Amino acid sequence: MDIRFVSRDGEDLIFESDAGDRFIAPIDDALRASLKNNPRVITADFSPKFVQDQLRQGRSVEQIATDLGVETSSLEPFAAPILDELRFVLQAALDTQVTDGNVMRRFEDLVSEEFPNAEFRVHKHDGSWTVEVDSDQLLSWRFDPKLRHIEPTSPASTKLAKAQSSRDVISSANPKVRPTPETQATPEHAQELVDASSTTSASVHSLVEELRSRRSQEEIKPATAKGRASLPSWDEIVLGTTNSETDAE
């Protein structure tokens, strides 16, 4: 006769035989000590880690319970945190911003636009998260939750990504710039610019000449006994010259 674990009822464990007979075992100190020393659930021959790994790989609680021959309720205590983790990672992937031509959009919006009835799921293998969508053909993407980076890993998803990244891209090569009436250069306007430039150059030249003339008429004060240099004159400030250079001229 085979006996399997069915469920827990308060402080009792309920078992059932292959003939349909039910047995109740109280959770006493001896049973607690045995379970503490061996975390595996002996009657069902599985561990919480085994169930959690199976869930991360994309299997449902019902599928795992069927394979183990146990009620789904017996898996719920250690399945709940993993199901929350899967929902969190999937939502992060759906909210990831991806390229859509020359703008960025949510990953879920772009895929749903092409596949309106898309059902997303996520699973983890060898330390990497994968997002999948079933359509006429399987679409899959590798997702990094820390970097919020998603990339296609199947031919169908790669084709979709290329189409989205290249559409509606505005080329900036050889842009056609139309001058406004304010910026259009007429012969009269061009001459005005030349005259203004010449006037400005003449004014600067006159100022420089006047400063040099004043400098030549002033007595150059020697350095003090303590070796401190005299204050710079106007031409030294404006022209960037030194006393020695001015004298040399």
Q: What is the pLDDT of residue 238?
A: 59
Q: What is the pLDDT of residue 177?
A: 41
Cβ 69 vs Cβ 44: under 8 Å: yes
Number of structural domains found in the chain: 2
Q: Where does the pLDDT of residue 41 fall: very low under 50, low under 70, confident under 90, or very high at 90 and above?
A: very low
75 and 106 housed in the same domain: no
Range of 4-13, 126-135, 217-226, 227-236 with top mean pLDDT: 126-135
40 compared with 74, residue with greater pLDDT: 74
Distance CA 31, CA 41 (A): 11
Average pLDDT over residues 121-134: 92
Average pLDDT over residues 82-102: 92
Other CB atoms within 10 A of residue 7 CB: 14
Average pLDDT over residues 227-247: 57
83 and 8 housed in the same domain: yes
109 and 52 housed in the same domain: no
| Residue at which a domain ends, from 139, 166, 193 | 166
Q: What is the pLDDT of residue 198?
A: 54
79 and 22 housed in the same domain: yes
Average pLDDT of every residue of the chain: 74
What is the domain extent for residue 19? Answer: 3-87
Q: What is the pLDDT of residue 134?
A: 83
Distance CA 105, CA 107 (A): 6
For residue 143, pLDDT beyond 60: yes
Express as a percent the part of the chain with pLDDT over 70. 57
Q: Each residue of 59-68: pLDDT tens digit?
A: 999 999 998 8
3-state secondary structure the chain: CCEEEEEEECCEEEEEECCCCEEEEECCHHHHHHHHHCCCECCCCECHHHHHHHHHCCCCHHHHHHHHCCCHHHCHHHHHHHHHHHHHHHHHHHCCEEEECCEEEEHHHHHHHHCCCCCEEEEEECCEEEEEEECCCEEEEEEECCCCEEEECCHHHHHHHHHHHHCCCCCCCCCCCCCCCCCCCCHHHHHHHHHHHHHHHHHHHHHHHHHHHHHHHCCCCCCCCCCCCCCCCHHHHHHCCCHHHHHHC
For residue 165, pLDDT beyond 80: no
75 and 111 housed in the same domain: no
114 and 83 housed in the same domain: no
Query: Is residue 223 assigned to a domain?
Result: no
pTM: 0.50
72 compared with 174, residue with greater pLDDT: 72
Q: Each residue of 197-235: pLDDT tens digit?
A: 555 555 556 666 766 766 666 555 554 445 455 566 656
Average pLDDT over residues 46-51: 84
For residue 142, pLDDT beyond 90: yes
Q: What is the pLDDT of residue 174?
A: 41
